[in-house]
Amino acid sequence: MSQLDTYRNTLLKKQEDISKLNQDMAKEQAKIAPLQKKIISAKGAIGRTKSQSTIKSKLNEIERAEKSISDIQKKCGDIQKKIAQKEKERSTAEKNYRNEEAKVNKKNMEAEKKRQQDALRQAASFERSLREYGNAQSHMQLEIERLKAIPEKITVLFLAANPKDTPQLSLDEEARSIQQKIRLSEYRESVHFESRWATRASDILQAINETNPTIVHFSGHGAKSGELALLNPDGSTKTVTKEAITMAMSTASDTIRLVVFNACFSETQAESVVEHIEAAIGMSASIRDDTACTFAAQLYSSIGFGHSLQTSFNQAIAELLLEDIPGENIPQLYARDDVDLNDLILVRPDV
């Protein structure tokens, strides 16, 4: 075996070691999400019970999960140190390999004809690489500029309405779940949550003007005719047409990019709004409380991780399937004709 082969094998071994350590890191990090979910579930159980024994049991469960997360994070830190050491060793191995490769190339250049042919091929390859590099750089710059155009912080305006003459909904649980999921997302500092309760028609423009939101979220009752149920001053139902909502959304703020109608039979509202707003979500039929709550919470969690709206919507549907909650076909996502939902990112990731 030549010296060059020895150096090459050493370099490949270091790269394999680094790859394995990265896989080990990924496996450890993958253990954290189920533990976090267990913590969320336990906290939810605490909020729903008055039993001290149950509360104590759930607190112990939370403590164990948090310790497990801490242990995993420590193990990840140890793996990261190993990766850093292996990177240094890989750099040395690559340097040795490159030096030996240069020596071999120098010997091979004794044949003038072969040298000229190699030079021509290398020149053509280099020119091609430069073009590809230039194209890649241009694409990367465009992508950076696109991400920079995303606001550093967005506001989610949560508008809730449950008139006294309509069935009671778990709107407070939905708001709590959304806020909790946002707090657990990677870019939680970039998402500000504002809520307005017992919403009247006159409150909509006022709330939008006050908060200048990126996302407007309606939670409450909807009718098959496409109307939303808001409140009269006495707490009874006041229906609002899709035309009125569309007009309000199109004139209230130029920062609104997404409107979520988490109400029964609100699909027509969403279809109407996207004539003026980039995207909207509505419900094609009557939707259960737990379905609406779970869907909304995961939607904002995924948005908070910097995913595109299409990916966030898909993950929210997937969460319903994972939790075995019916109604995964009810939420519908719509976009304006000039909008690609796979490119619509509402929370700016690190650039």
**Where in the sequence is the domain holding 291, given as residue range(s)?**
151-335
Structure tokens at 106: 């120098």
Cα(316)–Cα(302) distance, rounded to whole angstroms?
A: 8
C-alpha dihedral, 162 to 166 to 168 to 171, nearest 10°: -20
Residues 78 and 185 in one domain: no
Question: 339 vs 140, which has greater pLDDT?
Answer: 339
Name the domain boundary from 108, 137, 172. Answer: 108
Q: Is residue 66 situated within a structural domain?
A: yes
pLDDT mean across residues, the chain: 88
The answer to whether 270 touches 281, Cβ cutoff 8 Å, is: yes
pLDDT tens digit sequence for 108-122? 887 767 778 777 788
Segment among 10-24, 103-117, 272-286 with least mean pLDDT: 103-117
83 is written with which tokens?
């990766």
Residue type, 67: K
Convert the pLDDT of each residue in 223-264 to its tens digit.
888 899 999 999 999 999 988 988 888 887 788 999 999 999
Residue 127 belongs to a domain: no
Residue 349: what pLDDT? 67
For residues 42 and 334, which has the higher predicted lDDT (pLDDT)?
A: 334
Tens digit of each residue's pLDDT (9 = 90 or more) over 178-231: 999 999 999 999 999 999 999 999 999 999 999 999 999 999 999 888 899 999
pTM attached to this predicted model: 0.58
Query: For residue 131, is it within any domain?
Result: no
Question: pLDDT, tens digit, for every residue of 155-165?
Answer: 999 999 999 99
Whether 257 and 180 map to the same domain: the answer is yes
Last residue of a domain, one of 108, 139, 160: 108
Q: Is 59 domain-assigned?
A: yes
Q: Do 166 and 312 belong to one domain?
A: yes
Report strand pairing: 237-240 vs 228-231.
Answer: antiparallel
> Does 257 lie in the same domain as 178?
yes
Residues 6+ apart with CB under 8 A from 294: 177, 319, 320, 323, 325
Residue 320 belongs to a domain with what CATH number? Answer: 3.40.50.1460
pLDDT value, residue 31: 87
Give the tens place of pLDDT for each residue, 66-77. 899 899 899 989
- Residue 234 covered by a domain: yes
User: In terms of C-beta density within 10 A (0-12 exposed, 13-18 middle, 19 or more buried), how is residue 133 classed?
Assistant: exposed
pLDDT-wise least confident of 135-139, 276-280, 304-308? 135-139
Question: How many domains is the chain partitioned into structurally?
Answer: 2
Do 104 and 248 sit in the same domain of this protein?
A: no
